[in-house]
Amino acid sequence: MKNKFQYFNRNLLKWYKKNKRDFTWRCSSDPWKILLIEFLSQQTQLERADKYYQFFIKKYPTPEAMARKKKRTVLKDWSGLGYNNRALRLHETSKLISKNGWKEYSDDFSKLPGVGKYTKSALESFAYKKNVITSDVNVTRVLERYHGRLADETWIKENTIQLLGSTNSRYWNQAIMDLSSNICSKSKPKCTLCPIENSCAKYFSIEQKKKRIESFKGSNREKRGKILKTLIKSRELTFSKAQELIELNQKEMLLILETMQKDALVDINKEKKIVILTRK
């Protein structure tokens, strides 16, 4: 087993040295830059997220710069990325960091809004040089195929030392992420080009219940996005105009608004008009 770990690292890192993707934030230890790209790249391809990152880091070079802006401004800048809750959580997080500092959360970054296990481990590895593995579905896919077993959180923790070997976690994590993206993809993996193919268990998968994923076209997410985009431009929207915009009956419209209010995206003012929620 030990030799299998060593073979993986030796060939992975040799491949990565020649094939790594170059992004400006990859060489940074600034926790704000790491946090920003992690928020931007959730549910978004890294190359596309990087284009938004270049804009965001210029406009918001520090959490304080974002905290000073209104929610409406951040949402407008986020337009086109989808999943607007990410923008709201990022804005909330910038306010907390500006007020309390990074040290307040360094023992557990998951206390910050929108920071889950992966973003937490990314901050620890890339900004604070801790030897942790940033495991998401892409990383676990590579490990499961190679080792021929379930690479759950417990297994990864138990084998972190062997997995990393003598390599720092930043370099290792970036290497396996690039391998999962360029070679060991979810469908049609390029096994003949893979640097660890000779020792790989190949195509190992865990049978799980398939979740029904709502298509974007005609989905509630699309309808919410239309309402929010209109509000960013016009500041307020009547109930009837909103119904006309997304073609829903009154009951369905109320359900959409209820979820948007719950997510702190919109509110209903005294004139019974829909507005972007601006309270801090």
What average pLDDT does this structure show over 80-103?
A: 92
Phi/psi for 238 (5° steps) reads -75, 160
pLDDT tens sequence across 204-252: 655 433 343 445 566 777 777 777 777 777 767 777 777 777 777 777 7
The pLDDT tens digits for 129-158 are 999 999 899 999 999 999 988 899 899 999
How does the average pLDDT of the chain come out, rounded? 86
Please give the pLDDT value at position 276. 66
Question: What Rg value do the Cα atoms of the chain yield, rounded?
Answer: 22
pLDDT at 196: 94
Does the pLDDT at position 91 exceed 90? Answer: yes
119 or 276, which is more confident?
Answer: 119
| Per-residue confidence (pLDDT) for residue 275, from 0 to 100 | 66
CATH number belonging to the domain at 30-127, selected among 1.10.340.30, 2.40.50.100, 2.40.420.20, 3.40.640.10: 1.10.340.30
Residue 279 above 80 pLDDT? no
CATH topology of domain 220-276: Arc Repressor Mutant, subunit A (1.10.10)
CB of 228 closer than 8 Å to CB of 84: yes
What pLDDT is stored for residue 112 in this prediction? 95
Catalytic entry in 38, 158, 247, 271: 38
State the Cα–Cα distance between residues 221 and 241, nearest whole angstrom.
18
> How far is 66 from 117, CA to CA, in rounded Å?
23
Q: pLDDT tier at 102 (50, 70, 90 boundaries)? A: very high
pLDDT at 93: 97
Domains 2-21+132-199 and 30-127 equal at CATH topology level = no
Catalytic site includes residue 252: no
Query: CATH number of the domain at 2-21+132-199, out of 3.40.50.720, 1.10.1670.10, 3.30.1550.10, 2.40.110.10?
Result: 1.10.1670.10
Please tell me the predicted confidence (pLDDT) of residue 210.
37
Domain boundaries defined on the chain: 2-21+132-199, 30-127, 220-276
Summarised one tens digit per residue, pLDDT across range 57-78 is: 999 999 999 999 999 999 999 9
Residue 25 above 70 pLDDT? yes
Lowest mean pLDDT among 27-41, 174-188, 263-277: 263-277
Of the two residues 83 and 97, the one the predictor is more confident about is 97
Tell me what pLDDT residue 79 has.
86
